[in-house]
């Protein structure tokens, strides 16, 4: 399964969220004891040049990376691996407080999300198989 979402970059202070649904619960990634646990791997890929990137799952910040820069030889800047329970997970990727994109991911197995900044767009590529680099 491949799911690609994109949004245009906007000026500072204006944020755009696509396909983000509200969710409830206190645990940022759900109740791990009640469900099978899977990997969610978020790869920050091309187009990063010193930005701060925040990952939000189910309304709670789970990772913040400073000074993210793409290694042009690899096509990868950073990779974050999280353990999350099976089920729907709402994810937001926020870049330097200037733009964000969100999606709901159906986690019924390991999921791999590529985040790419291309021109004035952010593209999310959700897959069931890992990306290849190098």
Helix or strand or coil: residue 58? Answer: coil
Question: 3-state class of 118 per DSSP?
Answer: strand
Question: Is 56 part of a structural domain of the chain?
Answer: yes
99 part of a folded domain: yes
Full residue range of the structural domain in which residue 107 is found: 2-19+37-127
**What's the pLDDT at 23?**
33
Tens digits of residue pLDDT in 15-42: 222 222 223 334 445 444 556 999 999 9
| Rounded Cα gap, residues 108 and 67, in angstroms | 32
In sequence order, which residues have a C-beta less than 8 Å from that of residue 118 and are 6 or more positions away? 46, 47
Average pLDDT over every residue of 99-121: 90
Q: Is residue 67 part of a domain?
A: yes
In a domain, 132, yes or no: no
Residue 107 within a domain: yes
Query: Residue 124 — pLDDT band, cuts 50, 70, 90?
Result: very high
CA separation, residue 78 to residues 30, 31, 35, 115 (Å): 24, 27, 28, 10
Cα-only R_g, the chain: 14
CATH number of the domain residue 69 falls in: 2.60.40
How would you classify the pairing of strands 78-85 and 111-118? Answer: unpaired
How much is the pLDDT for 3? 39
26 inside domain = no
Largest CA distance in the chain: 42
Confirm whether 91 is domain-assigned: yes
If one counts the domains in the chain, the total is 1
């Amino acid at each position: 399964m491949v799911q690609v979402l994109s949004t245009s970059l906007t000026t500072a202070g204006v944020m755009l969220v696509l396909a983000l649904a509200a969710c409830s619960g206190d645990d940022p990634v759900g109740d791990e004891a009640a469900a099978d646990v899977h990997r969610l791997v978020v790869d920050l890929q091309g187009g990063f040049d010193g930005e701060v990137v925040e990952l939000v799952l189910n309304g709670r910040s789970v990772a913040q990376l400073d000074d993210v820069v793409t290694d042009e030889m690899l096509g990868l800047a950073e990779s974050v691996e999280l353990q999350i329970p099976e089920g729907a997970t709402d994810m937001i990727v926020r870049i330097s407080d200037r733009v964000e994109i969100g999606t709901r991911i159906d986690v019924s197995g390991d999921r791999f999300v590529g985040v790419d900044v291309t021109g004035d767009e952010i593209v999310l590529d959700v897959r069931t198989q890992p990306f290849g680099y190098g």
